[in-house]
């Protein structure tokens, strides 16, 4: 087959191919005063469900940069049009910019047609753009909305394939969320049941996936009405440790009484600091 490329067998262990080049780049970067940026990913749980009167979209709120949480409360449900919203997983910048671009184009399109935009239109625009970039735009999206043909829900993958389904999950926590959906999804649910199901699916992702965490945002879209619930559920409040199984706050006191540990010897050395130089620099507040 002509397409069989010259494949180098993956050798075990570390690959040091790029070290020399990286060192050069980083050395020059500091000369220019630049910091080498790291891509921030939303290791995420996002999901959506179609219910009787519309769609419910849900997302967690953790944005990670490698193993560090970069943003504890970021917003992953993006506005596309008054009746269409889109959750984004993958590279944070890619999901943000892609949804903004399509939102802008869709508004122009809507003004041109004189009609409320359809979810299928947004889906087409997104899939054609992502396909054009052959997967290099790392945006995995859950697109949902209500238009003249009823409620619609799509999942869109970075390479540009889409699936139209009654319930979808995306992101690193998608397996945990899908487990909840596969167990409890029913067609034509009521709004409260749908919200509870989405909340539980995202909670499944938050508590079982390291890349997802913090709070749960919900967006309920029905004909003529959008409820953007941010946050819907503060599943992880700072300083409050909750045992998930008991649902009782467990704030134990870990301070030990003075004298618990016996002191054998004590040596006190006062540190004297002397003032060497004092300079005053005035701030220009004109």
Partner 1 sequence: MMAAALTMGLARQLHSSPCSDAAPDWTYREVSTGTTIMAVEFDGGVVMGADSRTTTGAYIANRVTDKLTPIHERIFCCRSGSAADTQAIADSVTYQLGFHSIELDEPPQVQTAANLFKEMCYRYREELMAGIIVAGWDKRRGGQVYTVPVGGMMTRQPVSVGGSGSTYIYGYVDSNYRTGMSREECLQFTAKALSLAMERDGSSGGVVRLAVISEQGVDRQVILGNQLPRFSAA
Positions marked active-site: 44
Contacts of 1 (CB under 8 A, 6+ apart): none
Region near partner 1 per CB under 8 A, out of 15-23, 135-143, 243-251, 274-282: 135-143
HSE-CB at 44 with a 13 A cutoff on CA atoms is 33
- 2: contact with partner 1 by CB under 8 A: yes
Judged by CB under 8 A, the chain residues 159 through 198 that form the site for partner 1 are 159-163, 165, 171-172, 175
Q: Toward partner 1, which CB reaches closer, 65 or 71?
A: 65
Site for partner 1 in 38-67 (CB under 8 A): 39, 41, 43, 66-67
Pick out residues in 109-128 that bind partner 1 (CB under 8 A).
Answer: 124, 127-128
Instruction: Work out whether 68 is an interface residue with partner 1 (CB under 8 A).
Output: no
245: left (phi over 0), alpha (psi -120 to 50) or beta: alpha
Residue 231, C-beta contacts closer than 8 angstroms, at least 6 positions apart: 61, 73, 215, 216, 217
Binding mask 13-42 for partner 1 (x = CB under 8 A): --------------------------x-x-
Q: Does 69 bind partner 1 (CB under 8 A)?
A: no
Q: Which stretch binds partner 1 (CB under 8 A): 53-61, 156-164, 231-239, 256-264?
A: 156-164
State the minimum distance, in angstroms, from the CB of residue 102 to partner 1. 17
138, 144, 151, 204: which one contacts partner 1 (CB under 8 A)?
138
- Among 145, 205, 211, 213, the residue binding partner 1 under the rule CB under 8 A is 211
Say whether residue 7 binds partner 1 (CB under 8 A).
Answer: yes
Residues at the interface with partner 1 (CB under 8 A): 1-5, 7, 39, 41, 43, 66-67, 91, 124, 127-128, 130-131, 134-136, 138, 140, 155, 157-163, 165, 171-172, 175, 210-211
């Amino acid at each position: 087959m002509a397409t069989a490329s010259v494949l180098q067998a993956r050798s075990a262990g570390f690959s040091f191919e790029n070290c020399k080049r990286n060192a050069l780049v980083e050395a020059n970067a500091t000369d220019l005063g630049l910091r080498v940026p790291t891509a921030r990913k939303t290791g995420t749980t996002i999901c959506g469900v179609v219910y009787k009167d519309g769609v419910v979209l849900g997302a967690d709120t953790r944005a990670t940069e490698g193993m560090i949480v970069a943003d504890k409360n970021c917003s992953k449900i993006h506005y596309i049009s008054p009746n269409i919203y889109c959750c984004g997983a993958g590279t944070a910048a890619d999901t943000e910019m892609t949804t903004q671009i399509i939102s802008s184009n869709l508004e122009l399109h809507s003004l041109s047609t004189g009609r409320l935009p359809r979810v299928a239109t947004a889906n087409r625009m997104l899939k054609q753009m992502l396909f054009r970039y052959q997967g290099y735009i790392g945006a995995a999206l859950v697109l949902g909305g209500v238009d003249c043909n009823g409620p619609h829900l799509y999942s869109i993958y970075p390479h540009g394939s889409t699936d139209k389904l009654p319930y979808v999950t995306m992101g690193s926590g998608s397996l945990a969320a899908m487990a909840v959906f596969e167990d409890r999804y029913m067609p034509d649910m009521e709004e409260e049941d749908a919200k509870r199901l989405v909340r539980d699916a995202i909670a499944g992702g938050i508590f079982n996936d390291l890349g997802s965490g913090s709070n749960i945002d919900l967006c309920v879209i029905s004909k003529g009405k959008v409820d953007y619930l941010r946050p819907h559920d503060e599943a992880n409040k700072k300083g409050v440790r909750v045992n998930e199984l008991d649902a009782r706050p467990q704030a134990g006191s870990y301070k030990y009484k003075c004298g618990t540990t016996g002191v054998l010897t004590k040596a006190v050395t006062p540190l004297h600091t002397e003032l060497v130089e004092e300079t005053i620099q005035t701030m220009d507040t004109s």
